[in-house]
């Protein structure tokens, strides 16, 4: 029997907020964590990408051109699966350009917003093509075709910023929720709930509501740090960005609630971090484009909520996408993730033990 009373949900939410409010260390971390993460990921990792980021799509042929490009020290060559991947990354400003090798021609995709780099890439591609031509018995006509795309000329900080917001919210909500549920169990309050008119659905929804207020505060702070402190652009509507973050936070909460069933103490919750948080950081496609992740691992990326949240937040903040533009696949995926783990978390809160 599922019964839902908004008032009871509110009672749980109010309690959760009161408890969180009193946890000063967590409140402090909300403001502090995004700054640390921005510095860590934004500055420290950006060094890796100091060279020209060049995508390479190899569809056969032109081995001399390929090895020429790969041998250039200033270029960070990233192998990509298809031309459309390359186009996307160039237009997102995550690659400075790409070279598509086809048996009969070579297409060079360039970012029109950074002409110097484009020139360097083009020069390299042409000198590679000359080497290639020297190897051939029948010299071909000019087989290098150039296409200009309009990228954003973004800095590493800009691409990382939106995802940091998602990461911070996901991390803190997940940990806090899992620990809260562990405590409900160990201090006996869960058993008391079970013998009260509060239903399981109401309880989890109360948590979602209470934590959402917290998430709102957290993501607003992060948004301010990222946009004002680190000058990441905010081209779209900030409310759209907050919607994405709230949905992500709700997903993190129900995941935490669900996984708390498999931990016996707060200490064991912390041990979930390598399993739950780390893969999201590595595989969400923020620090390394999804297209550069080996194909057999990529399905995992597509199961992680941070992948979609990162994508949606980048779209809103950097491209100015509207809410309707990010429904598919990002908001849809985040909603499905939430619903699946909401059901799982609720079902695990068993009233009866056998």
Partner 1 sequence: MASDESGPVVSARGVVKSFGQLRVLDSLTLDIPRGVTYCLLGPNGSGKTTLIRAIVGLLKIDGGDLNVLGMPVSRVQQIYSKIGYMTQHKALYPDLTLQENLEFFAGLYGIGKQEREQRIVELLRMVNLQDLRNRLAGTLSGGMYQRLSLACTLIHEPELLLLDEPTVGVDPRLRQTFWKYFERLTSDGRTVLITTHLMDEAEKCRIVGYMKAGKMTAVGSPDDIKRQAGLKPHLELWLKDPEKDCARLRAEGYEIEILDGVVSLRLESHEQIKSVLEIVSPIDMRLKEPMLEEAFLQLSEAA
For partner 1, the binding residues (CB under 8 A) are: 1, 5, 7-8, 10-11, 14-15, 18-19, 22-23, 187-189, 191-198, 351-354
Q: Sign of the C-alpha dihedral, residues 211, 214, 218, 224?
A: positive
CA dihedral 238, 244, 246, 249 (to 10 degrees): -130
Nearer to partner 1, 1 or 239 (CB): 1
- What order do you get walking across the sheet with 144-149 strand by strand? 75-80, 52-58, 97-101, 106-111, 144-149
Residue 2 CB, nearest distance to partner 1 (Å)?
Answer: 12
Nearer to partner 1, 74 or 191 (CB): 191
Write the CA distances from 272 to 174, 175, 180, 201, 260, integer angstroms. 10, 9, 15, 25, 10
CB count within 10 Å of CB 189 equals 12
Nearest-angstrom CA–CA distance, 61 and 132 = 10
Residue 197 CB, nearest distance to partner 1 (Å)?
Answer: 5
Tokens of 92: 């997102």
**Contact (Cβ atoms closer than 8 angstroms) between residue 4 and residue 127:** no
- Three-state secondary-structure class, residue 142: coil
Residue 194 CB, nearest distance to partner 1 (Å)?
Answer: 6
Nearer to partner 1, 41 or 214 (CB): 214
Count of CA atoms in the C-beta half-sphere (13 A) of 278: 6
**Contact (Cβ atoms closer than 8 angstroms) between residue 164 and residue 242:** no
Nearer to partner 1, 213 or 277 (CB): 213
Residue 189 CB, nearest distance to partner 1 (Å)?
Answer: 4
Residue 350 CB, nearest distance to partner 1 (Å)?
Answer: 10
Residue 330 CB, nearest distance to partner 1 (Å)?
Answer: 36
Nearest-angstrom CA–CA distance, 277 and 259 = 13
Residue 15 CB, nearest distance to partner 1 (Å)?
Answer: 5
Q: Sign of the C-alpha dihedral, residues 335, 168, 300, 54?
A: positive
Nearest-angstrom CA–CA distance, 202 and 26 = 25
**Contact (Cβ atoms closer than 8 angstroms) between residue 263 and residue 272:** yes
Closest to 280 in 3D by CA, of 197, 174, 180, 178: 174
Nearer to partner 1, 192 or 235 (CB): 192
Residue 268 CB, nearest distance to partner 1 (Å)?
Answer: 20
Nearest-angstrom CA–CA distance, 177 and 345 = 11
In the numeric block, the tokens 């936070």 are attached to 249
Residue 184 CB, nearest distance to partner 1 (Å)?
Answer: 9
């Amino acid at each position: 029997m599922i019964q839902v009373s908004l008032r009871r949900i509110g009672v749980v939410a109010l309690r959760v907020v009161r408890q969180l409010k009193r946890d000063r260390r967590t409140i402090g971390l909300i403001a502090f964590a995004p700054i640390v993460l921005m510095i860590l990921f934004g500055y420290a990792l950006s060094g890796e990408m100091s060279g020209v980021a060049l995508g390479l799509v190899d569809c056969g042929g032109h081995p001399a051109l390929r090895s020429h490009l790969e041998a250039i020290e200033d270029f960070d060559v990233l192998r990509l699966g298809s031309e459309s991947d390359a186009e996307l990354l160039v237009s997102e400003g995550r690659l400075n350009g790409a070279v598509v090798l086809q048996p009969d021609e070579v297409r060079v995709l360039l970012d029109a917003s950074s002409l110097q780099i484009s020139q360097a890439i083009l020069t390299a591609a042409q000198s590679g093509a000359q080497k290639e031509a020297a190897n051939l018995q029948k010299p071909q006509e000019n087989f290098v075709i150039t296409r200009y795309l309009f990228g954003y000329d973004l800095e590493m900080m800009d691409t990382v910023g939106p995802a940091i917001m998602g990461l911070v919210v996901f991390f803190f909500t997940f940990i806090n929720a899992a620990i809260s549920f562990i405590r409900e169990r160990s201090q006996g309050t869960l058993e008391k709930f079970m013998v009260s008119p509060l239903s399981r659905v109401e309880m989890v929804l109360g948590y979602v509501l209470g934590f959402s207020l917290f998430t709102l505060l957290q993501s607003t702070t992060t948004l301010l740090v990222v946009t004002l402190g680190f000058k990441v652009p905010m081209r779209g509507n900030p409310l759209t960005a907050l919607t994405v973050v709230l949905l992500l936070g709700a997903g993190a909460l129900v995941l935490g609630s669900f996984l708390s069933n498999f931990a016996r103490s707060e200490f064991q919750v912390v041990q979930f971090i390598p399993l739950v948080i780390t893969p999201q950081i590595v595989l969400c496609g923020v620090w390394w484009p999804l297209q550069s992740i080996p194909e057999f691992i990529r399905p995992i990326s597509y199961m992680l909520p941070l992948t979609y949240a990162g994508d949606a937040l980048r779209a809103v903040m950097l491209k100015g996408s509207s809410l309707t533009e990010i429904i598919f696949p990002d908001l849809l995926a985040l909603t499905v993730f939430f619903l699946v783990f909401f059901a799982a978390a609720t079902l695990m809160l068993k009233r009866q033990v056998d």
